[in-house]
Chains A and B, each alone.
Chain A
Amino acid sequence: MAKLLKNEFDSLPQYEKDFKVHHLGINKDQIASGVILTSNLERIEMIKDTFQKAKKQGFHREYITYTGVCNDVEMSCMTIGNGCMPTAIAVEELRHIGCYKMIKVGTCYGIDPNLKPGSIYIPLASCRCEGATIEYVNHQYPAICDHKTFMAIMASAKELNIKVTSGICKTHDGLFLESPFAHEGVEERIKPWREIGVSAIDNEVAALYTIASILQLQAGAVYVVTDNLTTKESMDFANDYDARMLEAIKIAELALAKIIKGE
Chain B
Amino acid sequence: MLFRAKKFTNEKGEMFFTGLKQGDIAKTVLMPGDLARSKIISQCFKKADFIKGQRTYYTYTGVTENDTPISVVSSGMGPLAVSTVAEECVQIGCRNLIRVGTGAALLRDYKPGSIIIATGCVRGDGLSYEYAPKEFPAVANPYVVEALIRAAKEFNEEPIVGLYRAHDAYYRETSTAMIDTFERMKPWIDAGVKMVENESATLFTIGHRLGIRCGSICVSHTSMIEDTAYYQGPNSKVAYPEAFEEGFMEERVLLCAKIAIRATEILQEMEEKGEIV
Is B137 a contact partner of A147 (Cβ separation < 8 A)?
no
Query: Chain A binding site: helix, strand, loop or mixed by DSSP?
Result: mixed
Chain A residues in 8 Å Cβ range of B145: 147
Residue of B nearest to A148 (CB): B161
Chain B residues in 8 Å Cβ range of A151: 142, 146
- The interface size of chain A toward B, counting residues with CB under 8 Å, comes to 37
Min CB gap A226→B, angstroms: 21
Q: Which of A7, A124, A127 contacts B190 (CB 8 A)?
A: A7
A143 to B192, CA, bound (A): 13
With contact pairs A142-B121, A144-B120, A151-B146 given, residues A125 and B277 touching in the complex (Cβ less than 8 Å): no
Chain A residues in 8 Å Cβ range of B119: 144, 147
Is A214 a contact partner of B277 (Cβ separation < 8 A)?
no
A197 to B210, CA, bound (A): 10
A150 to B131, CA, bound (A): 26
Q: Which of A125, A170, A214 contacts B139 (CB 8 A)?
A: A125
Is B135 a contact partner of A129 (Cβ separation < 8 A)?
yes
Residue of B nearest to A133 (CB): B135
Q: Which of A142, A147, A196 contacts B142 (CB 8 A)?
A: A147
Contact string, B17-55, partner A, CB cutoff 8 A, digits 1/0? Answer: 000000000000000000000000000000000000000
Contact string, A6-33, partner B, CB cutoff 8 A, digits 1/0? Answer: 0111000000000000000000000000
Is B122 a contact partner of A125 (Cβ separation < 8 A)?
no
Q: Is A128 at the interface (CB under 8 A from chain B)? A: yes
Q: Is B5 at the interface (CB under 8 A from chain A)? A: no
With contact pairs A8-B187, A147-B145, A164-B277 given, residues A141 and B122 touching in the complex (Cβ less than 8 Å): yes
Q: Which of B132, B163, B190 contacts A196 (CB 8 A)?
A: B132
Is B277 a contact partner of A166 (Cβ separation < 8 A)?
yes
Q: Which residues of A contact B (CB under 8 A)?
A: 7-9, 124-129, 136-137, 139-145, 147, 150-151, 154, 157-158, 164-166, 168, 170, 192, 195-198, 213-214, 216
Q: Which 8 A-B pairs have the closest CB atoms?
A: A142-B137, A125-B137, A7-B190, A125-B139, A139-B134, A127-B135, A8-B190, A142-B120
Further 9 A-B residue pairs, CB within 8 A, beyond A127-B136, A144-B163, A154-B275: A136-B191, A140-B123, A142-B120, A142-B122, A144-B119, A158-B275, A197-B209, A214-B191, A214-B192
